[in-house]
Amino acid sequence: MSEEINRRDFMKRTTLATVGTSIAMTGMSRRVLGANDRVVIGLIGAGRQGTGNMRAFIHHGCEVASVCDVYQPNLDKGLQAAGANAKGVKDFRQVLDNKDIDSVIIGTPDHWHALPMVEACKAGKDVYVEKPISVVVDEGKKMVEAARKYKRVVQVGTWQRSNLHFQKAVEVVQSGVLGKVGFAKTWNYSNTYPDGIGAPADSDPPAGLDWDLWLGPAPMVHFNQNRFGVDNTKWSTFRYFYDYANGWLGDWCIHLLDIVHWAMKVDGPTAITASGSKFFLKDNSDTPDILQVTFEYPDFICTYENRLLNQNSMYDHGYGIEFHGTDGTMFVDRSGFKVFPEKKAYRGEKAGLSMQMDEVDDGLANHVANFLECLKTRNRPASDIEIGHRTSSACLLANVALRSKERIGWDVANQHITQGSPEAKKLLSREYRAPWKLVV
């Protein structure tokens, strides 16, 4: 009985505290903006992710003035979703030149996140940019610098921070209910053996695609359907090529690790090791089919596992986060969370509390609402660009460790490598193909 009373008392306290935080963060999430305070937006990148984000903005009463994409079929679909007042363009600079636009959404492939975001800040626009914010760490530093220099509100698309159940889960970890947390685990498991994403031959670009502009600052290569990756039946496969992205680390690990950073109150790891390879998949991607990463922090360890050859999971979930404490373990994903009390072997009794939450709200809608509220208040949003940069950096550094086959030491405060070869340090930046330059 006493455990149940304590459990109820705890949940009451965390509910009040977290709901208060949620209201402060997402106060606009239950209403639509009126005509007098309507925000005018532009969309850069009208693929599946960008268009989905745009719909969330429209739901909150925003007007879309411009939709940009270098691929005509995507542009057509984006314009159809945007409404009659939107103008279609193929060069993002035309969006930034529009003085009527207050804010832009950047939903492009990852290698096109940094440059439009920095230029948008210089043009006086606030920005909602997808994660990971960059392909290399040095780009992220410049993105933070631009947001601060030009005093812009920049929200990163790590929208789980705006989910009420993730907020409560973080409150549980920080409350001490799990005891001292010394280990966290994150993962993505699936089975795409043997073909993976396939291996199509290089070909001519499809009609309606400006391949040179799609590549932008990335190296010039022949068109390949997987490098481009647009497919109505699945998420774009550009993310599995290092010229444009960072594989599963940049695509999914960032969502999971972001919650770990938030719950554990850290800005980044002090060291990273990674091992993995493409053992069996017969596709043309750059990324491994088995991956194990260890992130070291001053007071705990976090791992990330990615398997593309076996999808078995002890929770029957293909992804998730675990926090292992001295008094209990929490499992959390987008469907809710559950706490499992620890059994003290030497006393034969439970040391913690059992609790569960499976009521899930609309994190993306809340996240957009938080951003729109910050356009008025000029406060920093739930996933401010620096928060997004810190989490992105950890995932990008994991790829530095993987590709260099080295243990990478990281100075979190000053953001530089303390252990690693000159070759590893080169992976913190990338050359931009002319005429593109990233200048703050």
pTM: predicted TM-score of the whole model, two decimal places: 0.92
Rounded Cα–Cα distance for residues 435 and 122 (Å): 18
Residue 3's CB is within 10 A of a number of other CB atoms, namely 12
Mean pLDDT, all residues of the chain: 91
Give per-residue pLDDT as tens, 323-342: 999 999 999 999 999 999 99
- pLDDT at position 3 is 41
pLDDT beyond 80 at 17: no
pLDDT beyond 50 at 19: no
Give per-residue pLDDT as tens, 108-158: 999 999 999 999 999 999 999 999 999 999 999 999 999 999 999 999 999
- pLDDT at position 36 is 58
Give per-residue pLDDT as tens, 366-397: 999 999 999 999 999 999 999 999 999 999 99
Average pLDDT rounded to a whole number, residues 301-309: 98
Average pLDDT rounded to a whole number, residues 250-267: 98
- For 201, counting Cβ atoms within 10 Å of its Cβ (0-12 exposed, 13-18 middle, 19+ buried), the class is exposed
Between 48 and 35, the more confident residue is 48
Give per-residue pLDDT as tens, 71-119: 999 999 999 999 999 999 999 999 999 999 999 999 999 999 999 999 9
- pLDDT at position 359 is 84
Nearest CA among 296, 304, 293 for reference residue 268: 296
pLDDT beyond 90 at 401: yes
Give per-residue pLDDT as tens, 342-352: 987 554 555 56
- Report CA torsion sign: 431, 434, 438, 440: positive
Rounded Cα–Cα distance for residues 438 and 440 (Å): 7
Contacts of 342 (CB under 8 A, 6+ apart): 179, 325, 326, 327, 328, 329, 350, 351, 352
Give per-residue pLDDT as tens, 268-298: 999 999 999 999 999 999 999 999 999 999 9
Phi-psi category of residue 209: left, alpha or beta, with phi > 0 → left and psi -120 to 50 → alpha:
beta
What are the phi and psi torsion angles at 224 (to 5°)?
A: -140, 135
Between 198 and 10, the more confident residue is 198
Long-range Cβ contacts of 204-211 (<8 Å, 24+ apart): 206/71, 207/72, 208/71, 208/72, 208/73, 209/70, 209/71, 209/72, 210/70, 210/71, 210/90
Contacts of 67 (CB under 8 A, 6+ apart): 42, 43, 46, 54, 75, 78, 79, 82, 86, 87, 88, 89
